[in-house]
Amino acid sequence: MSKGGKIIIVAAIVLALAGAVALKKMRGGDVKEVEIQTVATHVITPTILASGSLTYQTEIRMVSEVMGRVKSLYVKEGDLVKQGDVLLRLDPATTQAQVDALEAGLRQSKLAIDRQRVASDTLETKWKRYQQLRQSGVVDANTYDDIRSQNEQSKVELNSSMQMALQTEAQLKQAREQLAKTVLQAPISGRVTQLTIKVGETAVPSVTSIAGSDLLTIADTSNLYAEVNVNETDVARVVPGQTAKIVPAAFSEQSWEGTVETVAVSPRQIAGQGKSYPVKIRLKPSATLQFHTGMSCRAEIATRGTSADAVVAVPVQAVKYEESTDRDAPAKSSLFVVKDGRVKQRTVETDIADDMYISVQKGLAAGEQIVVGPARVLRFMRDGERVKPAPVVEEAPVTVKSP
């Protein structure tokens, strides 16, 4: 074959290959395997995530108002108690001795007052008689002045004794109150959630960080709350009455329903997290049997943007966002609609979203098919590309061999 003929053959091959490539491009290139989903309607529930701990509505830390050794203890941790039940007794010996001494002193004071009153009455009568005798000139001035002075002195002494008796009565009342405080009673009905003292140990009046100041804790376990910290950027969307799901750390695979009851108006500074606002969520009574105060938990609070009815929604990963050339305009939202084996990029208008779905207000209808993944393909997908459903990979059953 001549040199010119070879050149013609090579040129023909090159043209054929170029034509094949062009035809392939015209037909959309390779068929990409993608995850395709039919558009449906969903109820969208936007949520706010927060963390905190469980606490009881009413929890009372019992402390002693007087110092004393614990003589008797009538409860143990976990016991149910009723309001007024005796929880423990302190040794009353010292306080009882004070009461006995003051009672004896008061009795002596009253006897002395009775004697002084009789003496004072006698002097009063004598002085009145001497007044008549003085007017008659029978008694001289010196004698009359002596009787008058004795009468006034007896009245002063009687009044002084009565004041001392009143002071003793006040001391006795205070001592009896101290004696009564050696018996500790339950202020509410509930459960003993913590017991930090034993028989023989010394209870001291409430002073922070001194051993013995905390005796026990009683809580009304019928009302359990989750107290969580909501970030300052989200707290404006939280209001009382909203529903929430509570997931305690001890039961991470389960959640319990609750209702937002209060939202703090003052922030709390948390190290490393900035400002947050305490939110109290009341759990339903059925949940209280499994939880304990102090357990860590997280909360998913449904905000006011919840859609009342099902709306057209797509998985959040299906929507692509492109920044607008107008700095004041929102980002452009689009997704890929599948029709006749090809994708068409369509601009849509989105609204509220939750963890899984985002609602589409305009540009899409239920029943249409869209590409939802995989992300590595969706990221570089272009309008007009050919696609087909990716095969579903089923996990092979695990066979356990007998030994």
- Give the C-alpha separation, 32 to 389, whole Å: 8
Q: Among 313, 319, 312, which residue's Cα sits nearest to residue 372?
A: 319
- In the chain, which stretches have pLDDT less than 70? 1-29, 206-212, 272-273, 285-290, 304-308, 324-329, 392-403
Dump pLDDT digits (tens) for 305-350. 555 678 899 999 999 988 766 666 677 899 999 999 999 999 999 9
Query: Residue 328's CB: how many other CB atoms inside 10 A?
Result: 5
pLDDT at 398: 45
- Give the C-alpha separation, 400 to 389, whole Å: 33
Q: Token pair for residue 396? A: 């092979």
145's torsion region: left (phi>0), alpha (psi -120 to 50) or beta? alpha
Torsional sign, CA 362, 366, 367, 373: positive
Helices (H) and strands (E) in the chain, counts: 4, 24
Q: Token pair for residue 25? A: 């491009």
Q: Token pair for residue 162? A: 């009565």
pLDDT at 207: 58
- Give the C-alpha separation, 297 to 51, whole Å: 6
pLDDT at 293: 82
Write the CA distances from 257 to 42, 55, 228, integer angstroms: 20, 15, 14
- Give the C-alpha separation, 381 to 375, whole Å: 10
Write the CA distances from 141 to 91, 129, 130, 316, integer angstroms: 64, 14, 10, 116
DSSP designation for 64: B
Torsional sign, CA 199, 200, 204, 210: negative
Containing H/E element for 184? strand 183-185
pTM of the model: 0.58
